Amino acid sequence: MSAFNFDLSFVDVSSKGDIYNCKSIKYDIKPDVCIYPSNIKTPDRCDVTQAEMMIEFKWNRGDDPFSTLSSASSFIMSSQQARDTMGQITAYASAQLGAQWRTHTYQILIIKNYARLIRWDYEGFIVTEPIFYRESPALIDFFRRYNVAPHAMRGHDETVSCVTSHYLRLITTITMKDADGSDLTYLVPAPVATGLSPIGRNTRGFSAYNTKGDCVVFLKDTWRVLLPDIIPEGDVYKCLNEKHVQHVATCLASGNVLGGLNAHTTQTGCFKDAPWARHTGAILIAHVHYRLVLNIVATPITSFLSSRQVVEVVRDALIAHQDAYEDCDILHCDLSVGNIMVHENEGILIDWDLAKSTRDSGPRQITRTGTWQFMSARLVADMNTPHDFQDNMESTLYMILWIIFIFTVSCISDAERSHFLHTTLDPEQVQGSGGSGKANFLQSKSSITSTTPLFKGRPALDTLVQQLQKTFSARYIPSTKEAEENVRLAKLRLHNPIVEMALQDNLVVIKLDGLEAMKSHEGIINIFNTHLNWEEGWLDADSPDLQCILVEDHKELKEFYMAKTNWWLRSDLRPVSKRKRNDDDSEDE
């Protein structure tokens, strides 16, 4: 490429993956070529923090993840070779977008005698038809244009600047406006590649130093979903703070990130109706770059001091949810482990970016939003079901079980624990719905429900789970109006303790009692408080102790993740070894 006098350096890194910036990623980030700007000291290996672009070479057409036939039923190929390549380029995009301040990035995939250009942003990706580079100047023309393109057009976020000091080279500066319009400058660490999907909100949180206030705050950088019924998170916090909602942080600044040429709004969906466009079948949802600053830096709930604190913190989050729902007409639509934090022994409910007004009774216009493991049984069964406050109350049970089973000792075997997690909380979703595991569990059709006690040395936790399970089962117990009316009449007429005890196990009674308790937040909060007040029912200190989970018949410590349902791209991000370079010219047709 030197003959074209580009201000770009092309480095062969096929045997030198990024071993410094991708330590939290379990697969190799080792493209064949990295392109770096020529105004830096060019690395001799892959460096995802500085790479402008990555190039991957394949030698067989069967490795192409994209169909070349306009008549093909699917644009993305399903063969293992194609899936491997798709996994590789997705992993590279994930690492680069995660490790840099970017609005989008480009890749080049070369399949023997043709190339494809790929543009990634947080909405999806656009890929060209094959470019036969020996016959067409399009590839060189792309490099020529890229070479002179402004940084913003290349995908760099120009609202962020690096501190020039050698000692602070990993610190970046972000400037925002506060409520009265004056500038606020924050110093934040450089982003870190996590290996999560490149498609979605790409939410990153930082402890940030406020140079004006001389204090440490929390800065959230995200790409919020751009849908009419999604309220900007800063607007939600404004209402929460004005109404003095308990157990939430105070928002100091927020807003869309401003940039020219639509630089901070995803562009993939703008081309979905182009005459040349072919589709993967995925739903495209526009995202806009957004930042928000909160007054406190909290710790994750998974860093708890005891099981009792887990329950206290979840209870606090439920109180925050109640205040928001009753005082602000706001429904938090993602009550999950990742969205509950601890600050000075108080539970804090965060991430209100998917909240909706309760005045809007319909479902999301395009897709279900939330965290799959903690959604109610009702929501995972039908993506078109409107989300209500009772769904979030049910989520509190799944959060407690998820944390307690993964991070504390229980009275069930590794196999039983693993089976429950995989079949009840983590079932594969298909077309936006999946699994009857939660409904079966609530109705005592799960193997763990027969284990007594379930939690070692914590009888209060045992009875809490049992009572919540029984209460939340109410929405899933079938009954008739006649049966319900008969039970109501029996309760009014009969005051015999023996009869009342017999009725306790009647499914219709359980249904009616549960529905009564779920009419408001108070019924569920009272259940929490009753068990929290049982002093001798808890261990003094049972801090996190990661448990063994059986994965594919092997006992190992598995790193769990929460599956956001708006991650539509499910490409394999596993390690893929470099294919042997063949000297022959054979192709897979």
Q: Please give the tally of structural domains in the chain.
A: 2
- C-alpha span between 359 and 89 (Å, rounded): 43
pTM: 0.87
Q: Which of 154, 186, 211 finishes a domain?
A: 154
Q: Which residues does 357 contact at the CB level (< 8 Å), separation at least 6? A: 229, 231, 329, 330, 331
> Is residue 165 included in any domain, yes or no?
no
- Chain centroid, CA 90 distance in Å: 16
- C-alpha span between 133 and 137 (Å, rounded): 6
Domain of 120?
Answer: 2-154
- C-alpha span between 440 and 18 (Å, rounded): 45
Q: Find the distance separating the first CA and the last CA of the chain, reported in whole Å.
A: 30
Look up residue 17 and give its DSSP letter: -
Per-residue model confidence (pLDDT) at position 262: 63
> Is residue 231 included in any domain, yes or no?
no
* 298-357 pLDDT per residue, tens: 999 999 999 999 999 999 999 999 999 999 999 999 999 999 999 999 999 999 998 999
What is the SS3 assignment for 5? Answer: coil
Residue 583 banded pLDDT, cuts 50, 70, 90? very low
Report how far apart, in Å, the C-alpha atoms of 301 and of each of 203, 305, 461, 468 are: 18, 9, 17, 20
- C-alpha span between 248 and 207 (Å, rounded): 17
Query: Please, what is the Cα angle at 487 between 484 and 489, to 5 degrees?
Result: 110
Q: Which of 154, 181, 200 finishes a domain?
A: 154
Residue 196 banded pLDDT, cuts 50, 70, 90? confident
Query: Of 155, 156, 139, 105, which is closest to residue 4 (Cα–Cα)?
Result: 139
> Is residue 265 included in any domain, yes or no?
no
SS3 sequence of 379-405: HHHCCCCCCCHHHHHHHHHHHHHHHHH
Per-residue model confidence (pLDDT) at position 3: 56
Q: Which of 138, 154, 170 finishes a domain?
A: 154
- Least confident stretch, 249-253, 442-446, 497-501, 508-512: 497-501
* 48-72 pLDDT per residue, tens: 999 999 999 999 999 999 987 766 5
Q: In what order do the strands lie in the sheet with 171-177?
A: 160-162, 171-177, 183-189, 204-210, 215-225, 287-294, 251-256
* 25-48 pLDDT per residue, tens: 878 899 999 999 998 899 999 999
Higher pLDDT, 203 or 556: 203
> Is residue 239 included in any domain, yes or no?
no
Higher pLDDT, 161 or 578: 161
Query: What angle, rounded to 10 degrees, do the helices at 459-472 and 307-328 form?
Result: 40
> Is residue 162 included in any domain, yes or no?
no
> Is residue 222 included in any domain, yes or no?
no
> Is residue 309 included in any domain, yes or no?
yes
**For residues 68-83, average pLDDT:** 81
* 124-144 pLDDT per residue, tens: 999 999 999 999 999 999 999
Is there a cis peptide before residue 65, judged by omega within 30 degrees of 0? no
CATH value at residue 390: 1.10.510.10
Per-residue model confidence (pLDDT) at position 82: 95
> Is residue 410 included in any domain, yes or no?
yes
pLDDT above 80 for 571: no
**φ, ψ at 14 (rounded to 5°):** -60, -25
Q: Are 471 and 435 in contact (CB under 8 A)?
A: no
Q: Beta strands 287-294 and 251-256: pairing type?
A: antiparallel
